[in-house]
Structure 1
């Protein structure tokens, strides 16, 4: 990893810690970028070099989490993503992200997870999909969303 990549990871991790700290004190909507960067200990310009706003930062966190998960668990087809084994792996992975899942729910942002999951899956299967394949894809996204956000209290 290059020093620039390491620096970017430190920035993102600092922002992530700061965001979840602030979300324990106040609602997501009432957190300003100024508060976020001050709490994270970074310059406002640094934040805007990487993100357009708080929501794009949250989307980035979700995308990164999904990319990391897929680097470890690599189903090759949409159908494999429906298998119990894979869905249980999703659940076990989420056990390591309890605070983030609860933070998304409490901030009223869980729908962003579903949107990003849909985008993520479409990116993984970039060919022209049939309607049946899209039904499977969106069914998977909805099923995993329901597992995560209807059972989040148990993680």
Structure 2
């Protein structure tokens, strides 16, 4: 179990990353900028992480487990899964920042993949009677997944003004 001081320092570093991602892409952010924004020494940063990639890798690993849990828990209930993801996004500033254009591709790819799996069955029911070819089916999965993901990104970019419930309701309407 990590000490409170270590957890607090990690949260400060995460908050600094959120601030920097508002203006710069992840690839443009240096460790020096990160430590200056966090108000900590570089040696303090290196006590916790090898570099910014290691920091994000640790954060994403934790997130992957939490998101995996949500998608598994609500595998039969798309509404609850989508609602819980939006509730999670509402609380996790760094996750939201990583899902913006300035964020990392790994977390974006992971979330798109999870959405695609969740929506595949629904899309099969929706388009199954249209006799889509396997290639057309694959394109339809990508199309709707990217639409959902784009809505998430727009919600974040607009400052998360709508509630998670409003967003889940809207996204489910898109499937009707």
Retained in 2: the 8 A contact 1:15–1:40? Answer: yes
- Which secondary structure state, in structure 2, belongs to the residue aligned with residue 101 of structure 1? helix
Q: In the aligned structure 2, how far is the partner of 1:16 from the partner of 1:22?
A: 10
Larger Rg: 2
Q: 1 CA distance for matches of 2:39 and 2:114?
A: 43
Cα distance, 1:35 vs structure 2: 1.7
Name the CA shift for 1:30/1:69 in 2 (closer, same or farther; >3 Å). Answer: closer
Corresponding residue for residue 173 of structure 2: none
TM-score w.r.t. the length of structure 1 is 0.60
User: Where do 5+ consecutive residues of structure 1 fail to align?
Assistant: 119-134
Give the SS at the match of 1:20: helix
User: What is the match of residue 150 of structure 2?
Assistant: 150
Q: Is the 8 A contact 1:62 1:116 kept in 2?
A: no
Q: Distance in 1 between matches of 2:93 and 2:51?
A: 24
Unpaired stretches in structure 2, ≥5 consecutive residues: 120-140, 161-176
Residue 28 (structure 1) aligned with residue 36 (structure 2): no
Alignment partners' CA distance in 1, 2:68 and 2:22:
29
Note the C-alpha offset of 1:62. Answer: 2.6
**Superposed CA offset, 1:36-89 (max 9, x none):** 112212222232232222122123223333445677x5946xxx4353122332
SS of 2:13's equivalent?
Answer: helix
Q: How is 1:1-155 mapped onto 2 (pairs within 5 angstroms)?
A: 4-67=2-65, 75=72, 80-84=74-78, 85-97=80-92, 100-109=95-104, 111-114=105-108, 139-140=117-118, 146=146, 149-151=149-151, 152-154=153-155, 155=160
- What is the Cα-based RMSD across aligned positions, in Å? 3.8
State TM-score, norm by structure 2.
0.54
Q: Which residue of structure 2 lines up, in the alignment, with residue 132 of structure 1?
A: none
Q: Distance in 1 between matches of 2:93 and 2:115?
A: 25
Aligned pair in 2 of structure 1 residues 39, 86: CA closer, same or farther (>3 Å)? same
Q: C-alpha displacement at 1:17, in angstroms?
A: 1.2
